[in-house]
Amino acid sequence: MRDSKFQHRSGDIFVIPMTDGQAAVCQVVCALRGRFKQAFSFGVLAVQNGETYAGTEGRSCYLPINQNGRSTFVIFASAENLKDGTWRIVDYRDLTSEQEKLQYFAASTHLYRGDEYVRLLSVDEMKLYPVLQVAGDERVQQLLAGIGSEAV
């Protein structure tokens, strides 16, 4: 159990209640602390009926998410819902090496790995990385609703 000063971390598994009564089981990919500290990225492991966490043993692939006509595996969101408990952290599992690759993202024309600045990106390289665009609660719900039918 975490105390009141808890910090979410990469690998934390949490549940997002969806407006249709389902729940998305998600994993923190990148817990940002520096200049982007108000945001974090996560992948969706499963969409299930109800909010009771049933575990995700053996599941390490994130469901694809359609964002603006582009398929991605991470969503950037405000960390507030994790901090206030709206999105409950229920488990922890180390990220796989494939999941760790998703910690790279573009912000403006710059490449970051978490809080660490990597380098300037060319215009052609921009499409190779997820773009830091923080989704509000409503947008997160829209993105989750779009993948609900693909869940197993």
Question: pLDDT tens digits, residue range 8-41?
Answer: 999 999 999 999 999 999 999 999 988 888 899 9
Contact between 92 and 11 under an 8 Å Cβ cutoff? The reply is yes
> What residue type is assigned to position 102 of the chain?
L
Q: Element (H or E) spanning 117, and its range?
A: strand 116-120
- Residue 101 carries which side chain, given as an amino acid letter? K
DSSP string, 51-75: SS----TT--PPPPEEETTEEES-E
Q: What is the pTM assigned to this prediction?
A: 0.88
Phi and psi, residue 91, nearest 5°: -165, 180
Percent of the chain that is helix, strand, coil (3-state, to 5): 20, 40, 45
Beta bridge partners of 14: 26, 89
Secondary element (H or E) of residue 79: none
pLDDT digits (tens, 9 = 90+) for 68-109: 778 889 999 999 999 999 999 999 999 999 999 999 999 989
